[in-house]
Amino acid sequence: MNEPVATVAGAESRESLTVERAAIDGALDEFCARFLGGMPPAVANAIRYSLLGEGKRLRPVLVLAAFEAAGGRGDATRLAAAVEVVHAYSLVHDDLPCMDDDDMRRGRPTVHKEFGVAAATAAGLAMVPLAVRCALYGAESLGLDDAHSRRIVSELMRASGGGGMIGGQLLDLEGEGRALTLAELERIHNAKTGALICAAVRLGGIAAGASEERIDALGVYGRAIGLAFQITDDVLDVTATTDVLGKTAGRDAVLQKSTYPALLGIEGARARARALVEEGCSALNAEGLLTSRLEHLARYVVARRN
């Protein structure tokens, strides 16, 4: 299962990924130009740094792939990039001294290392309202009607909130130093990482005007690969080097976090991640939504090296 991304996704997909990532980076750049004016410079600079650093852009790429699979027409790049704003916010706060206390992220100093804790905290806080404005702007530029925009914002906020990402961050923090059961760990991972990845995939379907059945199938896929993503993160934390990861390796052990490899062993964790990928792809297949891109992305989630 250690195939490099290129082999998994194929040269063509790799190239389209590169083009797509550049477009997403362009949208993030546009958001900065459009929405950061009027903010204190410390906040604006920290947000810009956080958004414009290098990233996999997995969530926006998933929005676009789901949008395409569901037959969406038009350019959903801005809408997709709005999901990255929420994700970037979670990274800023995750790295804070009061959370995981990390110095490196995506191969650069973390936001609070570069701009100080107060500015990083405020920047993160400001990124939720920013994400809402970006999502509304993205929906508008895609020509979506207001009912769809509204639903998109509502789903994005549900995934970002106390029942999703933010709640998961707290559970994760509370779980440090305790031995969690597999069910507890899964609940944390589903909330902390799974909810936003799942929302990204669903959003693509909603923006494409998909039926509820198809949106639900996209949700099953999203939830499965969201969990597979986090399991893979846990595995990489013990198997990869800091250099390859672009963030500090071995943090889970330092923070005494319960992880999938600790509970299932490295091979057991990998097998669980692979099973989830199959489960997610089957759900899509049943609704005729399994494009090669969505399949490649699911496999990339578990085969990635950083």
Q: How far is the CB of 40 from its own copies (least distance, A)?
A: 5
The least distance separating its own copies from the CB of residue 233, rounded to whole angstroms, comes to 20
**Encoded tokens for 157:** 């906020």
Question: Does residue 263 sit in helix, strand or coil?
Answer: helix
In this complex, which beta carbon is closest to its own copies, that of residue 173 or of residue 263?
Answer: 173
Alpha carbon distances (Å) from 304 to 4, 51, 187, 188, 231: 7, 22, 23, 22, 12
Cβ 204 vs Cβ 63: under 8 Å: yes
Give the contacts of 222 (CB within 8 A, at least 6 positions apart): 62, 66, 194, 197, 198, 199, 200, 201, 202, 280
Contact 215, 201 (CB under 8 A): no
Q: Which is nearer to its own copies, 38 or 177 (CB)?
A: 38
Q: How far is the CB of 174 from its own copies (least distance, A)?
A: 7
In the complex with its own copies, the residue whose CB is nearer, 52 or 173, is: 173
Instruction: Indicate the residue among 126 and 228 with the shorter CB distance to its own copies.
Output: 126
**For residues 120 and 124, what is the distance between their CA atoms, to the nearest angstrom?**
6
Query: Torsion angle, CA of 65/68/73/77, rounded to 10 degrees?
Result: 10
Choose between 73 and 150: whose C-beta lies nearer to its own copies: 150
**For the chain, how big is the Rg over CA atoms in Å?**
18
Q: Which amino acid is at 51?
A: L
Residues 6+ apart with CB under 8 A from 145: none
Q: Which residues bind its own copies (CB under 8 A)?
A: 36-40, 42-44, 47, 93, 98, 117-119, 121-123, 125-126, 128-130, 132-133, 136, 145-147, 149-150, 153-154, 157-158, 160-164, 166-167, 169-171, 173-174, 191
Indicate the burial class of 30 (C-beta count within 10 angstroms; 0-12, 13-18, 19 or more): middle
Smallest separation (angstroms) from its own copies to the CB of 155: 10
Q: Report, in Å, the least distance between residue 75 CB and its own copies.
A: 20
Please state the closest distance from residue 55 (CB atom) to its own copies, in A: 20
Closer residue to its own copies (CB): 222 or 261: 222
Helical residues (DSSP H) of 104-211, grouped into ranges: 111-115, 117-141, 146-160, 165-175, 182-189, 195-207
Shortest Å, Cβ 26 to its own copies? 21
CB-wise, 154 or 241, nearer to its own copies? 154
Residue with Cβ nearer its own copies (99 or 263)? 99
Considering the complex, what minimum distance in angstroms separates the CB of residue 242 from its own copies?
27
- CA distances, 131 to each of 51, 56, 65, 186, 199 (Å): 11, 18, 20, 27, 14
